[in-house]
């Protein structure tokens, strides 16, 4: 499948000069959704990571992560923006281009030593993925790898991630 043909480019979003790679056009296509789920599952399985959980960040990481966890027979752990989780949380603050943001996970979601793979739709600068990795470290999890549909290679986000396998399906 030509995955790039299903990804919509939206120029000047969220600001002038940025080309947003929109995966909603992949998700609405039944064959496209199956393809990204199956391909990520195959690549992660081939890496022999032996994970227990898929960790996905709000919000597209949820869309990718839940069916991927199901396909691999793993649990799914949501990482959310502040104030969205009803129980006690672990949190990490991270830098954005203009300010900071925070990610949270329930304190009882994972135990120290849990084996996790972090997934999201896209890696650009690596900020959200790096913050999620730090959150997993804070808990004491074993971070086994990352999975992304899209990698924006010019932004070099990969170099900021921990030295674990990184699976991507398409590069720009």
SS (H, E, C) 35-47: HHHHHHHHHHHHC
Catalytic, out of 8, 28, 58, 97: 97
- pLDDT, tens digit, 9 for 90 and up, residues 30-87: 999 999 999 999 999 999 999 999 999 999 999 999 999 999 999 999 999 999 999 9
The answer to whether residue 100 scores a pLDDT higher than 80 is: yes
- pLDDT, tens digit, 9 for 90 and up, residues 103-156: 999 999 999 999 999 999 999 999 999 999 999 999 999 999 999 999 999 999
Catalytic, out of 60, 102, 115, 158: 60
Check whether domain 49-171 has CATH 2.40.50.100, yes or no? no
Three-state DSSP state, 102:
strand
Annotated catalytic, 52? Answer: no
Q: Which residue has the tokens 């986000």?
A: 157
pLDDT band at 25 (very low <50, low <70, confident <90, very high): very high
The answer to whether residue 98 scores a pLDDT higher than 80 is: no
Name every residue whose Cβ is closer than 8 Å to that of residue 46 and which is 6 or more positions away in sequence: none
Annotated catalytic, 97? Answer: yes
């Amino acid at each position: 499948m030509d995955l790039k043909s299903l990804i919509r480019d939206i120029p000047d979003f969220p600001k002038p000069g940025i080309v947003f790679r929109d995966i909603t056009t992949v998700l609405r296509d039944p064959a496209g959704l199956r393809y990204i789920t199956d391909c990520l599952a195959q690549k992660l399985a081939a890496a022999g990571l032996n994970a227990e959980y898929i960790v996905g960040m709000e919000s597209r990481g949820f869309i990718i992560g839940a069916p991927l966890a199901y396909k691999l027979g793993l649990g799914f752990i949501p990482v959310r923006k502040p104030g969205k989780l009803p129980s006690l949380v672990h949190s990490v603050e991270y830098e954005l281009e203009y300010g900071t943001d925070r990610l949270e996970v329930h304190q009882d979601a994972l135990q120290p030593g849990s084996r996790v793979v972090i997934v999201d739709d896209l890696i650009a600068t690596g900020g959200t993925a790096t913050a999620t990795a730090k959150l997993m470290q804070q808990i004491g999890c074993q971070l086994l790898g990352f999975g992304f549909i899209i990698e924006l290679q010019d932004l070099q986000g990969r170099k900021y991630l921990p030295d674990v396998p990184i699976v991507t399906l398409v590069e720009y």
